[in-house]
Amino acid sequence: MNPVLHLPKKDRRRAVTLAVIILLQALCAAFFFSDVVADFKADTYLNEVHFYMESSATLVLIAGVIFLMIELRGVMNRMQQLDRGLRAARGEMAQIIDTFFSEWNLTPSEKDVGLLILKGLDNETIAKLRGTAAGTVRAQSTRVYSKAGVDSRAQLFSVLLEELLADEDHQIQHEVEHESAT
């Protein structure tokens, strides 16, 4: 498992692309700006359409740079928010598991087994990891299930999932009731 939070690739690519375009466009803007200034000083071009076209192109380029900067700031803000959200969710999930395990009065070794079950390992692998017999793990997992008041692995997962989806679940039930009433 990788502890580094993976932010959406799309956003990261978008941010890099925006930054590159900002720099290239700023370089173009500076180039045209210096040309406009040179033309302005030369005085002879002031009556030509070319001069005004070039001036407005420069202005548009500069405005574009500023607009892209605002875009980039938005993308970065979103990435930072997502980053914080993921971190908080991960911390909360760990807390929820800890709370449930303590509530069910699991012993330390039962907690170990319970965590490994939640991480998706089968009894045999758990036995190998813990250096115990498969029968011991089976007995321990049965005790975990009975203390949690569930019959199977899947139900153990659903207890935790339900906690995470509590609000939505409530909403769904509400809607079901509403539908059956009508």
Partner 1 sequence: MLTKQQYSSGRNRARDSQDVLVWDPLVRLIHWGVVSMVLINAAIVAKDSPIHLWAGYTMLVLVAVRLLWGIMGTRFARFTAFPPNPFRALSYLRAIRQGDKTVHLSHNPLGALMVYNIWTTLLLIGATGFMMGTVSFFGVAWVEQVHELAYDWLLISIAAHIVGVIFDTWRSGVPLVQAMLHGRKRIPRDTPVE
Binding of partner 1 at residue 120 (CB under 8 A)? no
Measured N-to-C along each axis, helices 153-164 and 49-103 cross at an angle, to the nearest 10 degrees, of 130
Binding of partner 1 at residue 26 (CB under 8 A)? yes
Binding of partner 1 at residue 73 (CB under 8 A)? yes
Binding of partner 1 at residue 96 (CB under 8 A)? no
Q: What are phi and psi of 16, to 5 degrees?
A: -65, -45
The footprint of partner 1 on residues 140-179 (CB under 8 A) is none
| Ranges of H-type helices in the chain | 9-42, 49-103, 108-118, 123-130, 134-148, 153-164, 166-181
Q: Which of 57, 59, 79, 160 binds partner 1 (CB under 8 A)?
A: 79
Residue 85 neighbours by CB under 8 Å, 6+ apart: none
Binding of partner 1 at residue 80 (CB under 8 A)? yes
Q: Which of 51, 55, 71, 76 binds partner 1 (CB under 8 A)?
A: 76
Q: With 0-12 CB in 10 A as exposed, 13-18 as middle and 19+ as buried, what is 173?
A: exposed
- Residue 77 or 146: the one with the smaller Cβ distance to partner 1 is 77
> Cβ of residue 115: shortest distance to partner 1, in angstroms?
7
In the block, residue with structure tokens 């017999």: 133
- Residue 47 or 108: the one with the smaller Cβ distance to partner 1 is 108
> Cβ of residue 180: shortest distance to partner 1, in angstroms?
41
- Residue 82 or 159: the one with the smaller Cβ distance to partner 1 is 82
**And the tokens for 56?**
């407005």
Residue 133 neighbours by CB under 8 Å, 6+ apart: 127
Binding of partner 1 at residue 16 (CB under 8 A)? yes
